[in-house]
Homo-oligomer: A and B are copies of this chain.
C-alpha cells in the first residue's frame, strides 16, 4: 500500500488536477467526525484504487456496504461539481442502487441528461490506478460538456 501511495503522491500534476482536488473535497465532506483529517489526499483516495490483486480478493457476488456506496456517490458528485464549474449550470447527480449493488446513475443539467449509465457489482467499484480514475472522470466530463454545448437550450431549462 505504501508503495502505491508513494507512487501516487509523487505525481504532482495528478495530485493537483481539478478532479483529485474535487475528490478530496467530496470525501472530506462526508466525514462529519473528522476521521479523515489526519489522512493525506493520496491516503483518502486509496480505497478507490483496486489493483488486480486487490480486486481478486473481493468476491464476485456481494452486497455493497455503506462505505462503498458513499464512495460511488463522492465520485459522481465530484464529476457533477466539475461539470458545474465548467459550464456554470447546476449538475444534479442521482445514484440509484438496489441493495444488491446494481442500478443506474444519472447526471442532469437542466432538462438534459449528460450522463446515464447502468452500474453493476458496485461492491467491486474501483479503478486500476488513480490516473486511470481521473481519465475516466475526464472522459465523462468532456462528453457531458459537449452535450451541454450542443443542446444548451435544454441544459438551461
Contacts and interface: CB of A to CB of B under 8 A. Distances in A.
- Copies of this protein in the complex: 2
A78 B79 CA distance: 33
Interface size band for A: 10 to 19
A111 B106 contact: no
Given A111-B116, A154-B154, 13 more contacts: A94-B94, A94-B96, A106-B108, A108-B116, A111-B112, A111-B114, A111-B151, A112-B112, A112-B113, A112-B154, A151-B151, A151-B153, A151-B154
13 contacts: A94-B96, A94-B104, A94-B106, A106-B108, A110-B113, A111-B112, A111-B113, A111-B116, A111-B147, A111-B151, A112-B112, A112-B154, A113-B113
